[in-house]
Structure 1
């Protein structure tokens, strides 16, 4: 069961900078949610300010889904955001793995990038 106390067990270190990243096992152990709101609230309770809304999307079947990021490396994320605003692009060590995408559908189902 995923709790604040067990969260660290779901991380692996990857990439040249050995950044923290959640394993597939995290997605496998997620609770069953019944709505987007319920799932988003659960993620917010676990990750607080490191769980951020990105945008709302339309699925192929006219259902909505919602893109979120879990910020794993706040320093690189802030640098990436600054570069995107100032330069229109961001690249550099650690930029790719500083977040992990979470898609939450209206019915509460969750897909994560691994």
Structure 2
């Protein structure tokens, strides 16, 4: 069961900087959700300000889904956001792995990037 106390056990270290990243077991152990709102609320309760809404997307004729990011490295994420605003691009060591994408569908199903 995923709780604030067990969360650390779901992380692995990847990339040249050995950044923390949630592994597939995290998605497998998620509780069942019945709606997007319920799933997003659960993630917010676990990650607080490090769980952010990115955008709403249309599925292929079946409704909508919602993109969120879990911020794993706040300092790199802030630098990436600043570069995107000022330069229109962001590149640098660790920028790609400072967040992890979470797709949440209307029915509460969740898919994560690994």
Global fold match (TM > 0.5): yes
TM-score normalised per structure 2: 0.99
5+ residue gaps, structure 2, are none
Q: What secondary structure sits across from 1:5 in the alignment?
A: coil
The Cα shift of 1:66 comes to 0.3
Q: Which runs of 4+ in 1 moved over 2 A?
A: none
Query: Could you say which residue in structure 2 is the equivalent of 1:22?
Result: 22
In structure 1, C-alpha distance between the alignment counterparts of 2:58 and 2:65, rounded to whole Å: 6
Q: What secondary structure sits across from 1:44 in the alignment?
A: helix
Q: What secondary structure sits across from 2:93 in the alignment?
A: coil
The size of the alignment, in residue pairs, is 114
Query: Could you say which residue in structure 2 is the equivalent of 1:71?
Result: 71
In structure 1, C-alpha distance between the alignment counterparts of 2:44 and 2:61, rounded to whole Å: 27
Query: Could you say which residue in structure 1 is the equivalent of 2:53?
Result: 53
The Cα shift of 1:61 comes to 2.6
Query: Could you say which residue in structure 2 is the equivalent of 1:32?
Result: 32
Q: What secondary structure sits across from 2:66 in the alignment?
A: strand
In structure 1, C-alpha distance between the alignment counterparts of 2:10 and 2:62, rounded to whole Å: 33
TM-score normalised per structure 1: 0.99
Show CA shifts across 1:62-86 (max 9, x none). Answer: 3110000000000000000000000
RMSD: 0.5
Q: What secondary structure sits across from 1:30 in the alignment?
A: coil
